[in-house]
Amino acid sequence: MLSLFSVVFTFLALFLLIPGLFISRRLRLHFSLKNIIRFYKITASKYGDERNDERPMGEKEKRAKNRMPKHVAVILDGNRRWAEKRGLGTSDGHEAGVKRLMENAKDCFAMGTNTISLFAFSTENWERPEDEVNCLMALFKKHFKSEMPYFQRDKIKISVIGNRAKISQSLLGLIEEVEEATKSYEGKQLIIAIDYSGRFDILQACKNLATKVKDGLIQVEDIDEKAMENELMTKCSEFPNPDLLIRTSGEQRISNFFLWQSAYTELYFPNVLWPDFGEAEYLDALTWYQQRQRRFGRRV
């Protein structure tokens, strides 16, 4: 009887208790059977990919072998609704959203993602009430300053894309300071879209190509998809096109974000408001993405 108890206890320790403590402390997830199962699924998928690297692969296998997304893009939707449901002010919702943003970014990098793009402030957001816009700009300033030690310690390259014409000089100065301080880092990149729209991105790329033709630098015949991608704002990334795009709040559209870049992107629309989109929800997104990759492979 004692021997049977020892076997059962050893099994629980090896396969439930120890992994549970690891994901609770290392990944800051709740200790639960559901999260342990998520962890095992992702680990098994990564192990399977590593095993596949040891044998010759056909073209189809090569395209599908790495099921962890290199580039994850996120539309941060639902801060105001989150605050309204709790009887809080709009600024409280945005503060909670920024806090969640930094927590999730750290987890994404920890799980092997190379590039994270955040649709932080769209061009249309200028039409919101002035006090809300001022609140968002103040939050950008606050967190560019407070997170600088983290960016430098973990060697994360920061790139801010969008139209900078309306951004205040004080915020613009901070953006340029952060970009300059992190420009030499490789392997991890955080792209923050401020006053960005996909239409504006495509338009400015077309204008750049037209100018090059006018100046005799290229011929019209030289313009192809690669030339276009080299003029888009995401050219700052080693992985300019996202593998996975997440939009929270249940809205099933990408609005005006990465219109060109998302042609072959997996789109994930969880019915959860952004401040509630935590580590467990991100693991759900990864599990869904990996299942898609196993079933269909990388679409090209």
Active site (catalytic) residues: 77
Rg (CA), the chain: 22
Determine the Cα–Cα distance for residues 135 and 194; give it in Å rounded to an integer.
14
Q: Within 13 Å, how many C-alpha atoms sit on residue 70's CB side?
A: 11
Phi-psi category of residue 80: left, alpha or beta, with phi > 0 → left and psi -120 to 50 → alpha? alpha
Q: Are 115 and 239 in contact (CB under 8 A)?
A: yes
- CA angle 163-166-167, nearest 5°? 85
For residue 234, count other CB atoms closer than 10 A to its CB: 22
Distance (Å, whole) CA 281 – CA 270: 8
- Give, for 64, the enclosing helix (H) or strand (E): helix 59-64
Instruction: Take residue 191 and report the two structure tokens written for it.
Output: 């792209």
Q: How far apart are CA 131 and CA 40, in angstroms?
A: 46
Rounded CA gap, 74 and 100, in Å? 12
| Residue 18: partners with Cβ closer than 8 Å, 6 or more residues away | none
Q: How far apart are CA 16 and CA 36, in angstroms?
A: 7
* Paired tokens of 220: 């019209």
Give the separation between CA 208 and CA 210, rounded to whole angstroms.
Answer: 5
The encoded tokens of residue 145 equal 């300053």
